[in-house]
Structure 1
Amino acid sequence: MNQARDVSRRWQLLAIAAVIVYLIWLLAPVLMPFAVAAMLAYLGDPLADRLERWGLSRTWAATIVFLVLLIVVVGVLLLLIPLIARQVENLVNNLPRYGDWGQNVVWPWLQAKLHLDPHTFDSDRLLQMIKTHIGSIGDVATMVLGKVSRSGVGIVVWLTNLVLIPVVAFYLLRDWDRLVARIDGMLPRSLQPTIARLVRESDKILGAFVRGQLLVMLVLGVFYGAGLELAGLSVGLLIGMLAGLLSFVPYLGFIVGFIAAIIAALVQFGDWTHVLLVCAVFAVGQLLEGYVLVPKLVGDKIGLHPVAVIFAVLAGGYLFGFLGVLLALPAASVIIVLLRYLIERYRMSELYTEQGSEDPVIAEVDVDVSPDGKVDPDTIVVSTPRGRPDE
């Protein structure tokens, strides 16, 4: 009876999980601002808790954290947007130089090293095609802007989200502990200890990764951007910010940023001095990340493998769009904790702990052999456990 009840409960939980996933997929566009607000509230909750321990009320603590986050975000945007826009413009203006460098330097080198037939790839024709179609970019941009201007609903939605996200984030931050306590009070009492333990472990993994990795991304972005700017690269800040942004996947930010910076240095300067400067910047950045930032801010036992991070982000984005990207890491941390819990239960089950018989069976054969060496066909086989011979 109890076994049937457990099976029924498991099916009910699976059905509830399936309904939740379907609703998330169905309501993904609507849930996106709420997911962003919940992520901001989750990131700010530890600081609000610390302010509460210093004697402030939850409302004042949430207000201070919210204002600090708002000032930081607005300040960073006001500082970076003009710089990045200027470097993007510089990159676009220098695209012909990159094309000429690829045609005059990279392609001859590839032909010499890989013994390629020059007629298999007509670089002149490709460049001519690009120049021919560049003129249509303005027409495409005009068409897109026209559709956007006519799509009043889209503009209203974006403006609504822009206002809705900070408002919802503030209220979630203010009532975070109350919401957690209310959800905890609604859990079945028989399952509450197990669910509470799993939630704590998920929070430990997710908090260590998200909060720590965000700081790592920020520090690396600033370091790479400043270092490449000091090295003289005209797009150094853009490449540095890209490398920092992609560093949430180990080595991805380093590889992409390093290759882009090497190409930019060769195109802009064409000497090995600036290439060595770029190598020095990324070498110091890797030492800083591996020996200081990750051990201090993230730790080495968070449980999120780099492959799991990549798969979670790609799968979440494919299934649920931008909302899936936001929910990818929380979902991955929960799945990892659930898998650990299932493995723990399996190792405690009879299926894993059950052992075979300690007394192996030995076959004793009673053979009658005639004087001429023939074996009597009526041989008797007697099986007795080892250590307990038949008396």
Structure 2
Amino acid sequence: MNRWDSTPVIRFFGGRKTLFLLGILLMIGLNILVFSNVWFIFEPVAVFVKTVALPLILSVVVYYLLRPVINLLEKWKIKRIWGIVLTLLVLIGLITLVIVLIIPFLEKQLISLSEELPRYVVDLISSMDEWLKNSYFSAYYTNMFQDVDGMINQVPDYISSYATQTVEGITSIISTVTSVVVAIVTLPFILFYLLKDGHKLPGVMIRLFPPKARPEVSSVFKGIDHQLSAYIQGQIIVSFCIGVMMYIGFLIIGLDYALLLAAIASVTSVVPYLGPVIAITPALIISIVTSPFMVLKLVFVWTVVQLLEGKFISPQIMGKSLHIHPVTIIFVLLTAGHLFGIIGIILAIPGYAILKVFVSHFFHWFQRRYNRFAEEKDQYEMD
């Protein structure tokens, strides 16, 4: 028996492999220490990552949406390169159609809503003020808020002030718009090569690992691919269904800005649990100002859509492929939002799913090693 494997503890953790692993962890710690002191040397790398991140993320999302179409065309005996070109042309046509027909209408509704928003807020505060003054809590309310009318009159000034501050920060807005434009321009090129050679990428990366580790690494890649594919494809379809149902419901009840509010609900639905709360806020303000009966109709539409989405659409389209507990999702969203903002909230769930794949495979590997060690120990005791 090797001297490194002379004790049960060392043998349990892999013998010489344990010291090798500890050496790797030590080197990683030293690299982090060095990096924290000379981080400015790697600033160009950070700029490169920030520049590439957005178009790369968008390309991956669209890749998982279009990959089933490309594979289907390939089964129909259409060469992959021509299938990609045909799919991209159709996609560009659909985007152009949306920009020409829908975006101008949404822009008009957004401008109109931004102009009417101060009035909606003032009417909402006035209604609440009137109700509280005539309620059981009127005495407490009067003592706490003695100058509500003055506060109400200042609401438009507050909103105008914030609008002015937004205009003053036009430089940052231009920078953000520039990044988005660059991402959109580079998206077709990255997407083309992803669709053309993306299915070969896992095989190329697997060959970088030792032969004994390749089956385990291949399983990890397949797990990540399944998680991302199920989440992205399912979430986009579910969001589209929510937007359509909301639009139909808002049209039936006669709510103002139906298309804009439905589009907001569709976009925010990509954030589990928190998205619906964000989406219903502007619709709730408009309905409260309109009439109490409109609030009841809005609540009815919202409840029906959420029931249809939760009981029928999501289980059928997404199933339970991620296997993440709702409480875990909430904690992950809150933590990611605090650390990385809106981008963190959007990427929190797929990022957690990928991390879960790594952890689960590592746990299974550790479990197999433990079972093998237990069998070797039993055999050693019998001898």
TM range (shorter): 0.7 to 0.9
**Greater length-normalized contact order (CA 8 Å, ≥ 6 residues apart):** 2
Question: Quick one: which amino acid aligns to residue 81 of structure 1?
Answer: I
Give, in whole Å, the separation in 2 of the partners of 1:198 and 1:178: 16
Q: Select the structure that is richer in helix.
A: 2
Deviations 1:334-380 (A, max 9, x none): 2112232344345445499969xxxxxxxxxxxxxxxxxxxxxxxxx
Cα displacement (A) at 1:90: 2.6
Question: Quick one: which amino acid aligns to residue 283 of structure 1?
Answer: T
Farther-moved stretch of structure 1 (198-207 vs 300-309): 300-309
Indicate which of 8, 16, 20 corresponds to 1:8. 20
Shift in CA distance, 185/235, structure 1 to aligned 2, threshold 3 Å: same
Cα displacement (A) at 1:50: 2.0
Indicate which of 291, 298, 304 corresponds to 2:324. 304
Residues 225 and 240 of structure 1 are in contact (CA less than 8 Å); yes or no, is this contact kept in structure 2? yes
Shift in CA distance, 247/155, structure 1 to aligned 2, threshold 3 Å: closer
Shift in CA distance, 327/186, structure 1 to aligned 2, threshold 3 Å: farther
Deviations 1:184-227 (A, max 9, x none): 22222111111111221222222212211110011101210232
Residues 242 and 253 of structure 1 are in contact (CA less than 8 Å); yes or no, is this contact kept in structure 2? no
Deviations 1:99-143 (A, max 9, x none): 333233213434635553324233223233333445556654554
Give, in whole Å, the separation in 1 of the partners of 2:131 and 2:103: 37
Give structure 1 stretches of 5+ with no counterpart.
356-391
Q: Which residue of 2 aligns with 1:287?
A: 307
* Structure 2 counterpart SS, 1:304: coil
Cα displacement (A) at 1:9: 4.2
Give, in whole Å, the separation in 2 of the partners of 1:285 and 1:45: 29
- After TM superposition, list the pairs within 5 Å mapping 1:68-217 onto structure 2: 68-110=90-132, 112=135, 114=137, 116-121=140-145, 122-134=147-159, 136=161, 139-140=164-165, 143-145=168-170, 147=171, 157-217=179-239
Residues 217 and 248 of structure 1 are in contact (CA less than 8 Å); yes or no, is this contact kept in structure 2? yes
Question: Quick one: which amino acid aligns to residue 123 of structure 1?
Answer: V
Give, in whole Å, the separation in 2 of the partners of 1:234 and 1:297: 31
Tell me the TM-score normalized by structure 1: 0.74
Shift in CA distance, 27/11, structure 1 to aligned 2, threshold 3 Å: farther
Identity %: 26
Shift in CA distance, 202/15, structure 1 to aligned 2, threshold 3 Å: farther
Residues 243 and 263 of structure 2 are in contact (CA less than 8 Å); yes or no, is this contact kept in structure 1? yes
The number of residues matched between the two structures is 349
Shift in CA distance, 9/42, structure 1 to aligned 2, threshold 3 Å: farther
Indicate which of 79, 89, 110 corresponds to 1:57. 79
RMSD: 3.7
Shift in CA distance, 107/34, structure 1 to aligned 2, threshold 3 Å: same
- After TM superposition, list the pairs within 5 Å mapping 1:277-356 onto structure 2: 277-312=297-332, 315-316=335-336, 319=339, 324=344, 327-348=347-368, 350=370
Give, in whole Å, the separation in 1 of the partners of 2:162 and 2:271: 33
Is 1:46 the counterpart of 2:98 in the alignment?
A: no
Residues 249 and 310 of structure 1 are in contact (CA less than 8 Å); yes or no, is this contact kept in structure 2? no
Question: Quick one: which amino acid aligns to residue 209 of structure 1?
Answer: Y
Farther-moved stretch of structure 1 (40-49 vs 112-121): 112-121
Question: Quick one: which amino acid aligns to residue 152 of structure 2?
Answer: L
Farther-moved stretch of structure 1 (314-323 vs 163-172): 314-323
